[in-house]
Amino acid sequence: MKKLEERIRQEGEILSDTVLKVDSFLNHQVDTALALEIGREFASIFEGKTITKVLTIEASGIQFAMATGIALNVPFVYAKKKKAITQAEKVYTAPVHSFTRQETYQVSISQKYLGPDDKVLIVDDFLATGAALVGLVQIVKEAGAELVGVGCVIEKGFQEGRGLLEQMGVDVHSLARIAKMAPGEIHFTEQQSA
């Protein structure tokens, strides 16, 4: 998605060879028109596939899952990172290891909102180590649902996330793929789509 790449070039802050900050339009302040376009782009990439539900993880995946759900006219569900004390119902859970925080936490989804009849598109903001996304894939399997694919807004192609997901047989699509970056420079992987 050329427009997204341009926005990253203009406003992204490359903090190191591995960390990109996009707080002005994606992760803190959200450009709502761009978010809706991102949702339409995911819907068009997976056009022709039946999708009954979009799945993401709180917090930064939510606006893109919502935009994709709007474009597909289906609900979205977000996995929670903390177990609420009010959460009495049965849940699916998966452990996620956070490399940035060096800790493992559980993500969970109520069993009410995902089941064997669902065809799921997973959406998230970043594809990095893939830890969170692998957790979501495990939850989809545990629910007996069908995984249609994974859509990520920004992929850091030099990290292991895509490889891990592809090893699991997952169809992964990202709208901006960073091949390499360093403070002051960024290189995207050439893509066919607009």
Question: Which residue pairs, CB below 8 angstroms and at least 24 apart, start in 181-189?
Answer: 181/14, 181/17, 181/20, 181/156, 182/14, 182/17, 183/14, 183/15, 183/16, 184/14, 185/14, 186/8, 186/9, 186/12, 186/14, 186/20, 188/5, 189/157
Binds 121: which of ligand G4P, Na ion, none (CB < 5-8 Å by kind): none
Closest C-alpha to 147, from 115, 170, 123: 170
Nearer to Na ion, 125 or 155 (CB): 125
Contact 159, 16 (CB under 8 A): no
Q: Residue 69 CB, nearest distance to ligand G4P (Å)?
A: 17
Nearer to ligand G4P, 52 or 60 (CB): 60
Q: Is 131 annotated as a binding residue?
A: yes
Binds 168: which of ligand G4P, Na ion, none (CB < 5-8 Å by kind): none
The closest residue (CB) to Na ion is 60
Tell me the two tokens of residue 167: 């090893």
Q: How far apart are CA 112 and CA 17, in angstroms?
A: 41
Nearer to ligand G4P, 6 or 13 (CB): 13
- Contact residues for Na ion (CB under 5 A)? 60-61, 125
Binds 176: which of Na ion, ligand G4P, none (CB < 5-8 Å by kind): none
Q: Residue 132 CB, nearest distance to ligand G4P (Å)?
A: 3
CB count, 10 Å around CB of 10? 9
Q: Is 94 annotated as a binding residue?
A: no
Contact 26, 13 (CB under 8 A): no
Q: Residue 57 CB, nearest distance to Na ion (Å)?
A: 6
Q: Residue 180 CB, nearest distance to Na ion (Å)?
A: 21
Q: Is 20 annotated as a binding residue?
A: yes
Residues tagged in the binding site annotation? 20, 27, 128-132, 156
